[in-house]
């Protein structure tokens, strides 16, 4: 049990800005195992984000609630995944060879592709969530949680099915980028089931189809250009599949209500 707690806190420390006990460190052994808790981190971030949106809707207009909820998400994660998305936009937008793409993605500076990509990403999220909240507040709350959980599990499937492309030791995520064991993969899969059950509607399980189709497309795209994935690719996948989940929920919400 003590070992499992250490693994969990390692995941919390790596994937969020939430304070952790001082005895938690970036041990390669624990970082590799911590991937099993990545979808559970989605539960933590998604629940906090949804709670802010729900709580503030009694006071402020829907648009303001959504802005505050996105700020909460960014503060909790340190824009970890958004940064990866921006780097992927810059790298694949401005690079034409594997070496050039990887060099651009390692650059801490953000370029035009990254700026435009982030702007469109946040506009997409804002308007999707506003539409969901205007239709049904509780459905929106559940959709936010599901989007955070399912999108993080989707990145775990890339680690499980594909190969890490960098062969240098400078990557931030190399310790967790190794092939996952079957045990860790299936443990991570368990966290998504309660997120689906929140809806008490069988149609919500079909959200996995468009999300996984997008994962297959992104994984093939990354493999075609750079021979695998990087940490930035995982961050981009999380952000894109989060939006795909919200899109499916919006369509289902309009169908139900």
Domain boundaries, the chain: 37-250
Is it the case that residue 211 has pLDDT exceeding 60?
yes
Name the band, by pLDDT with cuts 50, 70 and 90, for residue 167: low
Is it the case that residue 171 has pLDDT exceeding 70?
no
pLDDT at 254 (0 to 100): 85
Read off the pLDDT of each residue in 5-34 and give the average, rounded to a whole number.
Answer: 85
Q: Which residue has the higher pLDDT, 28 or 168?
A: 28
Name the band, by pLDDT with cuts 50, 70 and 90, for residue 179: low
Output the average pLDDT for the chain: 91
Is it the case that residue 168 has pLDDT exceeding 80?
no
Is it the case that residue 175 has pLDDT exceeding 70?
no
pLDDT at 169 (0 to 100): 47
Task: Kindly tell me the sign of the dihedral angle through the C-alpha atoms of 54, 48, 60, 250.
Answer: negative
Name the band, by pLDDT with cuts 50, 70 and 90, for residue 24: confident
State percent of the chain over pLDDT 90.
Answer: 77
Read off the pLDDT of each residue in 76-97 and give the average, rounded to a whole number.
Answer: 95
Name the band, by pLDDT with cuts 50, 70 and 90, for residue 31: confident
Q: Which residue has the higher pLDDT, 111 or 168?
A: 111
Backbone torsions φ then ψ of 165, nearest 5 degrees: -95, -25
State percent of the chain over pLDDT 70.
Answer: 94
Name the band, by pLDDT with cuts 50, 70 and 90, for residue 163: confident
pTM of the model as a whole: 0.93
Read off the pLDDT of each residue in 35-57 and give the average, rounded to a whole number.
Answer: 96
Read off the pLDDT of each residue in 172-182 and give the average, rounded to a whole number.
Answer: 62
pLDDT at 255 (0 to 100): 86
> Which residue, 229, 241, 245, is CA-closest to 88?
229
Neighbours of 146 (CB within 10 A): 28
Read off the pLDDT of each residue in 189-207 and give the average, rounded to a whole number.
Answer: 95
Is it the case that residue 218 has pLDDT exceeding 70?
yes
Lowest mean pLDDT among 24-28, 131-135, 156-160: 24-28
Task: Kindly tell me the sign of the dihedral angle through the C-alpha atoms of 119, 122, 125, 127.
Answer: negative
């Amino acid at each position: 049990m003590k070992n499992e707690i250490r693994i969990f806190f390692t995941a919390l420390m790596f994937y969020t800005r939430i304070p952790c006990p001082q005895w938690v460190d970036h041990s390669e052994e624990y970082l590799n195992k911590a991937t099993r808790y990545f979808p559970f981190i989605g539960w933590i971030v998604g629940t906090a984000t949804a709670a802010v949106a729900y709580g503030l809707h009694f006071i402020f207009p829907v648009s303001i609630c959504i802005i505050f909820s996105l700020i909460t998400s960014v503060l909790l994660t340190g824009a970890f995944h958004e940064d990866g998305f921006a780097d992927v936009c810059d790298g694949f937008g401005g690079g034409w060879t594997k070496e050039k793409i990887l060099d651009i993605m390692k650059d801490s500076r953000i370029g035009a592709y990254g700026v435009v990509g982030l702007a469109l990403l946040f506009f997409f999220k804002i308007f999707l969530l506003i539409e969901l909240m205007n239709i049904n507040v509780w459905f929106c709350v559940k959709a936010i949680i599901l989007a955070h959980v399912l999108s993080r599990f989707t990145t775990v499937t890339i680690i499980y099915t594909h190969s890490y492309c960098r062969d240098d030791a400078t990557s931030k995520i190399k310790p967790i980028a190794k092939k996952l064991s079957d045990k860790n993969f299936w443990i991570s899969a368990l966290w998504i089931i309660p997120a689906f059950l929140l809806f008490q509607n069988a149609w919500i399980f079909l959200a996995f189809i468009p999300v996984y189709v997008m994962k297959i497309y992104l994984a093939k795209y990354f493999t075609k250009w750079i021979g695998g994935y990087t940490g930035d690719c995982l961050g981009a996948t999380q952000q894109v599949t989060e939006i795909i989940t919200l899109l499916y929920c919006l369509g289902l919400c309009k169908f139900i209500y």
